[in-house]
Chain A
């Protein structure tokens, strides 16, 4: 049976992946903090399921927008750059910048969605929100 030689250098791969992972994880952590705070904040004025739904939907909005923007940048980015060059629009927009920004937004959204699910479950398990406020 023929063996397939692995042409990828693990060190190079790690070096390439590290900044990307850092970008995504950093944004996800920020998003998670926002998601937890939003759930808690909304829960102060409305029932927990409604607060959770609103906070989750906000996270999903960011995630969906980021994901769509990221894939849009990958699919159309170079073409858009070329069109802009042809039309001489003089903007600094680049596919790489757009991709990075969108990845950040998507990761923040995903982090927020996850944090909302966790926060809601914890708050639900603790009983009423009043108990949490009393604890605080």
Chain B
């Protein structure tokens, strides 16, 4: 059983992580060239207009005052207003709008990775040095080595352009219209922003099929990497566990090979794999940045790329901090799972 103390300790560690990320983002943006006041006022603005914007944004204050103000605002999830991409709109609103797209993509990618990677890893370990093992290892090595910016366009070319099985971009069919709210017990609630979830909430199965059809290829692109790494990890971990004394004892007592592996080995072999799943979520979010760009999906990854290009500082800060928050929360979940699988960890 996971102790409350362990979870509280892990929750408290979120503070320095987010504090560190916020400081890092603040520093990088202040070292980057470009004057935010000039960006907001526009290239044709007069010197007086730029000075007025500087005063309004507090850019004339000493930098440590600006830093303290930024940290205080960030602690309240107030990242200011977008300079360029969504002119004047609060960054929080822009993030709420785009975040579900990325989370949905990363979750499905992770799902594909787990569902295929773990069984393949177990199979590869159980059938060590067989043809299945060799093929799985070659597949895993290829999956880890192929970058997303190459596998993405390749899958589009093969499955979308030549075979025509999947659409090349977008999140749902262009003829499908979704309302902005759904009703639960007579109360109107906003949609979650995840199309596959929203279509199910609305009871629109045709729309769900369309959304899943659109999402499959981008999720597969992210999932390939995840699957490759997880199967490789699972194989190594399983082989290590299989050689343990307790496994030999179980076999010596007459227990079948399959039962020994699944009953005694699987849970223990899963421990390092769970860690990798958590660490990998950050990679998946990073992968989502590229995948969204390749597949033309308007998530937080595309938003970050556009915000950096347009030197939209508040949007960059907000996006990076939300990425960090997501990453740390997922790792917290992984830690809790880890301590459930291996109770010694929270001692």
| A123 → chain B closest CB, angstroms | 12
Residues of B within 8 A of A75 (CB): 10, 13, 17, 328, 331, 335
Residues of B within 8 A of A113 (CB): 64, 67
Sorted from nearest, which 6 A-B pairs have the closest CB atoms? A68-B20, A64-B23, A64-B24, A67-B20, A60-B27, A61-B27
Query: B331, A68: Cβ atoms under 8 Å?
Result: no
Query: A79, B237: Cβ atoms under 8 Å?
Result: no
Query: A49, B31: Cβ atoms under 8 Å?
Result: no
Query: A71, B275: Cβ atoms under 8 Å?
Result: no
- The total of Cβ contacts below 8 Å across the A-B interface reads 104
A53-B63, A64-B27, A87-B236 known; A79-B22 Cβ under 8 A = no
**Interface presence of A70 (CB below 8 A):** yes
Known A49-B60, A79-B338; 13 more pairs at CB < 8 Å: A56-B64, A58-B27, A60-B23, A60-B24, A63-B23, A63-B27, A64-B27, A71-B16, A72-B17, A76-B275, A82-B271, A106-B20, A113-B67
Query: A68, B24: Cβ atoms under 8 Å?
Result: yes
A 100-125 contacts with B by CB, 8 A? 106, 113, 116-117, 120
| B277 → chain A closest CB, angstroms | 11
**Interface presence of B205 (CB below 8 A):** no
Query: A58, B31: Cβ atoms under 8 Å?
Result: yes
Total interface residues on A, using CB and 8 Å? 36
Name, among A53, A86, A116, the residue most crowded by chain B CB atoms within 10 Å (CB to CB).
Answer: A86
A53-B30, A57-B31, A64-B24 known; A76-B63 Cβ under 8 A = no
Residues of A within 8 A of B30 (CB): 53-54, 56-57, 60
Bound form: Cα–Cα A60–B279 in Å: 26
Q: Which residue of B28, B236, B345 contacts A86 across the interface (Cβ within 8 Å)?
A: B236
Residues of A within 8 A of B23 (CB): 60, 63-64, 67
Task: Show 21 A/B contacts (Cβ-Cβ < 8 Å), sorted by A.
Answer: A52-B63, A53-B30, A57-B26, A57-B31, A57-B63, A58-B31, A59-B27, A60-B26, A60-B30, A68-B21, A70-B20, A71-B16, A71-B17, A71-B20, A75-B13, A76-B279, A79-B338, A82-B272, A86-B236, A86-B237, A86-B272
Chain B at the A interface: SS class: helix
**Interface presence of B256 (CB below 8 A):** no
Query: A64, B240: Cβ atoms under 8 Å?
Result: no
A60-B26, A76-B279 known; A86-B240 Cβ under 8 A = yes
| A15 → chain B closest CB, angstroms | 23
Residues of A within 8 A of B242 (CB): none
Contact with A along B1-44 (1 / 0, CB 8 A): 00000000010010011011111111110110000000000000
Q: Which residue of B24, B275, B331 contacts A65 across the interface (Cβ within 8 Å)?
A: B24
**Interface presence of B126 (CB below 8 A):** no
Residues of A within 8 A of B27 (CB): 57-61, 63-64
**Interface presence of A132 (CB below 8 A):** no
Bound form: Cα–Cα A60–B26 in Å: 8
**Interface presence of B62 (CB below 8 A):** yes
Query: A83, B276: Cβ atoms under 8 Å?
Result: yes
Residues of B within 8 A of A68 (CB): 16-17, 20-21, 24
Residues of A within 8 A of B271 (CB): 82
**Interface presence of A126 (CB below 8 A):** no
Bound form: Cα–Cα A57–B23 in Å: 9
Query: B62, A52: Cβ atoms under 8 Å?
Result: yes
Query: A83, B275: Cβ atoms under 8 Å?
Result: yes
Contact with B along A70-94 (1 / 0, CB 8 A): 1110111011101100111000000
Bound form: Cα–Cα A26–B331 in Å: 32
Q: Which residue of B lies closest to A66 (CB)?
A: B20
Q: Which residue of B lies closest to A86 (CB)?
A: B272
Query: A87, B233: Cβ atoms under 8 Å?
Result: yes
Query: A70, B16: Cβ atoms under 8 Å?
Result: yes
Bound form: Cα–Cα A39–B276 in Å: 43
Bound form: Cα–Cα A83–B153 in Å: 32
Q: Which residue of A lies closest to B19 (CB)?
A: A67
Bound form: Cα–Cα A74–B335 in Å: 12
Q: Which residue of B lies closest to A102 (CB)?
A: B20
Query: A76, B331: Cβ atoms under 8 Å?
Result: yes
A49-B62, A64-B23, A72-B17 known; A56-B67 Cβ under 8 A = yes
Residues of A within 8 A of B60 (CB): 49
Q: Which residue of B lies closest to A52 (CB)?
A: B63
| A31 → chain B closest CB, angstroms | 14
Query: A54, B24: Cβ atoms under 8 Å?
Result: no
Residues of A within 8 A of B338 (CB): 79
